[in-house]
């Protein structure tokens, strides 16, 4: 990381302030943002982070583009891509979720890969739909190739 800010907590001095790279034990972002964050614990309240790596992440009415963590909790927010052991989502969404367990309430996601899902999740693509899509695409491609060879 280039020029990481060595802080234990990060608070914006004014709305809309953005930090480049933040590396600390505990990072708190409120009504502001950061490009990348590496920490043990990250809290985002009405803010955003482009990319975060941590043991625990909590997002309240905010968002993170890319997350890698042990535990992620999102309340009324969103995440682009999340890879974690445990994910808890309430009234939010994610582009893609890969986790061991997911606890959800009114959540929408594009791609869902999880061993255990508890709650209300609407996913465009799950492990099952991806397998079915692959099967259908393979059969379709095979039929097209056979038709082209007959000409």
Q: What angle do CA 26, 22, 27 make, to 5 degrees?
A: 20
CA distances from 71 to 51, 57, 84, 106 (A): 15, 6, 6, 19
% of the chain beyond a pLDDT of 70: 87
pLDDT over 90 (residue 112) = no
Average pLDDT over residues 107-135: 82
pLDDT band of 32, cuts 50, 70, 90: confident
pLDDT at 83 over 80: yes
Question: What per-residue confidence (pLDDT) applies to 13?
Answer: 31
φ, ψ for residue 23 (rounded to 5)? -130, 120
Helix-, strand-, coil-residue percentages of the chain, each rounded to 5: 15, 65, 20
Q: What CA–CA distance (Å, rounded) separates 58 from 74? A: 6
> Tens digit of pLDDT for each residue in 41-82?
999 999 999 999 999 999 999 999 999 999 999 999 999 999
| Mean pLDDT value across residues 16-31 | 82
Phi, psi of 70, rounded to the nearest 5 degrees:
-80, -45
The region of weakest confidence among 2-6, 44-48, 130-134 is 2-6
Question: Which range scores top for mean pLDDT: 6-10, 64-68, 106-110?
Answer: 64-68
| Alpha carbon distances (Å) from 127 to 65, 99, 111, 130 | 22, 12, 8, 5
How high does pLDDT run on average in the chain?
84
Cβ-based neighbours of 36, under 8 Å, separated by 6 or more:
1, 20, 21, 22, 49, 50, 51, 52
């Amino acid at each position: 990381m280039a020029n990481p800010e060595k802080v234990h907590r990060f608070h914006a001095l004014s709305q809309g302030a953005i930090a480049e790279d933040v590396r600390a034990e505990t990072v708190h972002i409120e009504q502001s943002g950061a490009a990348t964050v590496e920490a043990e614990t990250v809290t985002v309240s009405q803010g955003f982070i482009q990319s975060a790596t941590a043991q625990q992440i909590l997002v309240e009415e905010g968002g993170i583009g890319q997350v890698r963590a042990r535990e992620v909790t999102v309340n009324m927010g969103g995440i682009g891509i999340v890879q974690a052991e445990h994910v808890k989502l309430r009234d939010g969404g994610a582009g893609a979720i890969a986790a061991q367990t997911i606890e959800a309430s009114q959540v929408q996601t594009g791609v869902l890969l999880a061993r255990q899902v508890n709650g209300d999740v609407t996913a465009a693509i799950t492990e099952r739909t991806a397998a079915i899509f692959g099967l259908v695409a393979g059969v379709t491609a095979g039929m097209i190739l056979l038709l082209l060879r007959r000409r």
